[in-house]
Amino acid sequence: MKTNFSALLALLAANRALAQQACSVTEEVAPSLTWSKCSAGGSCAAQTGSLVIDANWRWTHTVEGYDNCYEGNSWDSTLCPDGDTCAQNCCVDGADYEGTYGVTSTADSVTIKLVTENEHGRNVGARLYLTDGGSKYQLFNLLGNEFTFDVDSSNVDCGLNGALYFISMDADGGQGKFPGNQAGAKYGTGYCDAQCARDLKWIDGTGNVEGWQPVGEYAPDVGTGDMGACCAEMDMWEANKAATSYTPHPCVNNAYHSCSGDSCGGTFSADRYGGTCDADGCDFNPFRQGNREFYGEGSGFTIDSTSKITVVTQFINEGPGGDLSQIRRLYVQNGEVIGNSESTAPNNPGNAITDEFCAAQKAAFGEEQDQFTEFGGLSHMGQALDAGMVLARAAGEPSGDCPSENRTPPEIEARVPDASVTFSNIKFGPIGSTFTEGEVTPPGPGNPPVATTTPSTPAPTQAPGGPTAPQWGQCGGQGWSGATTCVSGTTCTVVNDWYHQCL
């Protein structure tokens, strides 16, 4: 018995040594964030969650002291000669969210600053996840539902990106897959995306030490290693004041998994298309699709990026349990519901993401690689949405009408040091439940913006024989007692047994 007990202790110690550890020199006090879960009919209940910053941003130091295991963009070769030894010697610490990272939250709102000067130097940006208020990330099952949020991008200049997106991370941050991991979701571990990110310090519970190289002169604290972390990704909002896009990225294996070297594909590999995740995705960017007057600064655009915007994304499936068939976008601004812009790109019509739209887009823009179709398109992406995804906020660079000068990170930081983005009023529920449906004003393909005149709580529109449902409005379904006749030019379409919509 004594021998067996000793062996058990040795095994437990080995598991602890080979996994990611957490320290508490700085107490981890996650900012709270309230969001709403809605039901058919539009009633919504407040949910209490919290925000946690990604492990990549955290101080990484010795378990038994204060020596840096990672400094600048390099690992300490003595403490971290390899990934497993690094996991034994080092830990990630708690975070001072506002003081160090420029993250503030109030009730249902969170603001992230671009640059935060602190006692340790300078921090640039942050990546945050929504948790269930405990030790796990909040999962959203998006298939057949809609997700709505407010965003203020008025302080997000060209060259920057205030982003909100979903990824197929493990809810526990990898603790279940990598026994002994003491950090987990509470400390922001387990990130993955469709670029198979290789700039992560920790992957699979060990240090990403082997092959680690600094990225370049404009990223003094960033490097890449041999390992990458892959999973499906649904970009809901990649935007600044000049441009916006939304993009699904399926993977052959949608769930979290690691990869090695250039076989990862994506941004950080010599062969961008060498992996099994769709690095490019199928995006809808109004600017790229030809409508340059749909989204931008000021009242001359249909969507004015200098004012708060409510963004609605609907994940339409072919009836209960059916495949994802369409990802539809609506906007609400100043009390008016506005349909997505129509694409005017040659041979690439449409105003929503469908398999047909995506295939036509690849051909229209001369893109030789179509990993979106190759890896299963919307049907396969829908499996990731149905399995549950984690809500994140990160950074990137969307297409738009931005000057080419002053685009390097130091130049951008010097030009707009007070840049920030604010996300608020998150709502999730069945299609049609998260916003007040009104008559949708089409923007007009590539034309000057047209005036929208319908208030958020419109007076009912009467038609011979009874009330009329507006475009995009509900017109039927089990338990529905409202209008069943659609406004002229639209048809009441069965989305599922519970929701019919005027399309």
Least confident of 94-108, 320-334, 456-470: 456-470
- The whole-angstrom separation of Cα 21 and Cα 88 is 8
| 138 neighbors 132 (Cβ within 8 angstroms) | yes
**What residues contact residue 299 under an 8 Å CB cut-off, 6+ apart?**
none
Mean pLDDT of 144-162: 93
pLDDT at 233 over 90: yes
- The whole-angstrom separation of Cα 462 and Cα 107 is 39
| 3-state percent helix, strand, coil for the chain, nearest multiple of 5 | 15, 35, 50
| 78 neighbors 391 (Cβ within 8 angstroms) | no
Q: Which residues pair with 258 in a beta bridge?
A: 229
The pair of structure tokens assigned to 51 is 């925000």
Instruction: Give one DSSP letter per residue of 155-200, joined into a string.
Output: T--TT--EEEEEE---TTTTTTTSTT-SSGGGGT----BTT-B---
The helix/strand count (H/E) of the chain reads as 7, 36
Least confident of 51-60, 366-375, 458-467: 458-467
pLDDT of residue 242: 93
Between 15 and 22, the higher pLDDT residue:
22
| pTM reported for the whole predicted model | 0.85
Give the helix/strand (H/E) hosting 101. helix 97-101
- The whole-angstrom separation of Cα 164 and Cα 184 is 21
Mean pLDDT of 122-130: 91
Mean pLDDT (the chain) is: 86
Category of 177 on φ-ψ map: left (φ > 0), alpha (ψ -120 to 50) or beta: alpha
Task: Give the residue extent of every domain in the chain.
Answer: 2-16+135-456, 459-503
Per-residue model confidence as pLDDT tens digits over 248-285: 999 999 999 999 999 999 999 999 999 999 999 999 99
Q: Which member of 233, 293, 342, 439 is catalytic?
A: 233
| 341 neighbors 296 (Cβ within 8 angstroms) | no
- Does residue 356 have an active-site annotation? no
pLDDT of residue 404: 58
pLDDT of residue 486: 75
Nearest Cα to 411, choosing from 99, 164, 115, 153? 115
Domain range 2-16+135-456, its CATH number among 2.70.100.10, 2.40.50.140, 2.160.10.10, 3.40.630.10: 2.70.100.10
- The whole-angstrom separation of Cα 10 and Cα 19 is 15
Instruction: Give one DSSP letter per residue of 266-334, joined into a string.
Output: STTSSSTTSSSB-SS---B-TTTTT-TTSEESSTTSSEETTS-EEEEEEEEESSTTPPEEEEEEEEEET
Confidence of residue 2 (pLDDT cuts 50, 70, 90): very low
- Does residue 238 have an active-site annotation? yes
Q: Which member of 146, 238, 293, 342 is catalytic?
A: 238
